[in-house]
């Protein structure tokens, strides 16, 4: 039968202070609440409501991880590996004797981590590479003449090799506000020269971005629903005090131009990269029945559902259904 369960809040420094506490029916304070994890990942496994029983005892280990994310400050410039890259990287770091909690780790498991983010409030992000010609003109407008010349001559891959080798900070006076803000938070960071190559995306609520393996990205601000394969593998290139591994990133990153960074739902369904999971929005106004044909997490992001606490989500396995009533925005997240 469907099971109600509670997730785990992650208090990373970049998190907002109001969105997640308010969603969970808690009184906000000054503590950052960055992510609410829903799933069976061992870093922060969910538990069946009213018990100490892990969710995995009901659903088995899930291949999907769902997070509500609240971003008050920019996250790191990062990418995630594909399946074979994750297997090799995990084995290599194991062979080097790095413990799973070693801060030098890029790979904490042997799984790929494709992601999708759906905006719940206005959301700002960097996602995938823009085309070279327009970026060259943009760099010229920043008065970054040398950067524009390097990109024009050597393309994205050659530019990244050059940019990560620089040891002087770029001048940001003529840059847009979002880039100046990152520069204020991370002065002299080598990723500052990389960020303008990416698509600067502003999402309205309900709009989404897809982040397949190798996609270089950074979340800048806003609240969203993030769904991914259940992995904690992150290769960072900048904007963080955490471990940065430029060499590994250059092996993993996909420098293909991403012409259309926004993900369009089809028939009301957002399909994650590679089809590993999908998400459907349900606007509950009264009563409805939700049926599952695969392992599914049902999460509320506004309003109220009768008989379900604000800090609970619902897990269903294939063949199960649940009757719901209330007025709420729900998201049906399905692993395949």
Domain chopping of the chain, boundaries: 1-257, 275-335
Q: Annotate 180-190 with b (16+ C-beta within 10 A) or e (fewer).
A: ebbbeebeebb
- pLDDT on residue 1: 87
Helices (H) and strands (E) in the chain, counts: 7, 18
The predicted model gives 193-207 an average pLDDT of: 98
* One-character DSSP codes across 244-277: --HHHHHHH----B-S--EEPPBTTEEEPGGGSE
Separation CA 218–CA 198 (nearest Å): 9
The Cα–Cα gap between 243 and 304 comes to: 40
Render pLDDT for 35-85 as a digit per residue (tens, 0 to 9).
Answer: 999 999 999 999 999 999 999 999 999 999 999 999 999 999 999 999 999
Average pLDDT in the chain: 96
Beta strand pairing call for 47-48 and 296-305: unpaired
Residue 293 has pLDDT above 90, yes or no: yes
Q: Is 137 helix (H, G, I), strand (E, B) or coil?
A: helix
181 catalytic per annotation: no
pLDDT tens, 130-165?
A: 999 999 999 999 999 999 999 999 999 999 999 999
Hey, what are 288's tokens?
Answer: 């409805």
pLDDT single digits (tens) 224-264: 999 999 999 999 999 999 999 999 999 999 999 999 999 98
Q: Does domain 1-257 bear CATH number 2.60.120.10? A: yes
**Looking at residue 98, what is its pLDDT?**
96
8 Å CB contact between 225 and 299: yes
Q: Would the CATH topology of 1-257 be identical to that of 275-335?
A: yes
3-state class of 301 per DSSP? strand
Cβ contact 59:317 at 8 Å: yes
- Rounded distance, CA 122 to CA 134, Å? 25
Give residue 141's pLDDT. 97
Q: Looking at 108, 190, 236, 300, which residue is catalytic?
A: 236
| % of the chain at pLDDT higher than 70 | 100
Topology of domain 275-335, per CATH? Jelly Rolls (2.60.120)
Provide the pLDDT for residue 57.
Answer: 94
- 143: which residues sit within 8 A by CB, 6+ positions away? 171, 173, 174
């Amino acid at each position: 039968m469907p099971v109600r369960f509670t997730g785990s809040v992650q208090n990373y420094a970049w998190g907002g202070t109001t969105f997640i506490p308010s969603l969970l029916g808690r009184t906000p304070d000054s503590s950052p609440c960055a992510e609410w994890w829903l799933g069976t990942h061992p870093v922060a496994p969910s538990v069946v409501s009213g018990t100490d029983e892990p969710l995995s005892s009901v659903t088995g280990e899930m291949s999907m991880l769902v997070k509500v994310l609240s971003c008050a400050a920019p996250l790191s410039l990062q990418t995630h590996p594909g399946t074979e890259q994750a297997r090799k990287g995990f084995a290599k770091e194991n062979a080097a004797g790095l413990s799973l909690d070693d801060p030098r780790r890029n790979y904490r498991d042997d799984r790929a981590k494709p992601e999708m983010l759906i905006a719940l409030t206005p959301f700002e992000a960097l996602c995938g590479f823009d085309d070279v010609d327009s970026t060259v003109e943009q760099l010229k407008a920043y008065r970054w003449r040398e950067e524009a010349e390097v990109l024009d001559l050597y393309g994205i891959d050659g530019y990244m090799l050059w940019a990560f080798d620089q040891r002087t900070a770029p001048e940001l006076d003529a840059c847009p506000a979002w880039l100046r803000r990152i520069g204020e938070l991370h002065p002299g960071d080598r990723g500052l020269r990389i960020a303008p190559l990416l698509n600067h995306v502003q999402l309205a609520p309900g709009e989404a971005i897809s982040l397949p393996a190798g996609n270089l990205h950074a979340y800048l601000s806003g609240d969203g629903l993030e769904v991914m394969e259940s992995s904690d593998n992150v290769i960072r290139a900048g904007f963080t005090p955490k471990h940065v591994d430029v060499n590994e990133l250059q092996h993993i990153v996909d420098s293909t131009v991403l012409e259309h960074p926004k993900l369009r739902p089809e028939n009301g369904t957002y399909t994650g990269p590679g089809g590993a999971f999908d998400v459907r929005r349900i606007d509950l106004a009264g009563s409805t029945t939700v049926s599952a044909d695969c392992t599914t997490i049902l999460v509320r992001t506004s309003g109220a559902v009768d008989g379900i606490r604000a800090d609970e989500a619902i897990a269903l396995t294939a063949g199960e259904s649940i009757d719901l009533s209330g007025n709420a925005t729900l998201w049906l997240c399905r692993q395949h």
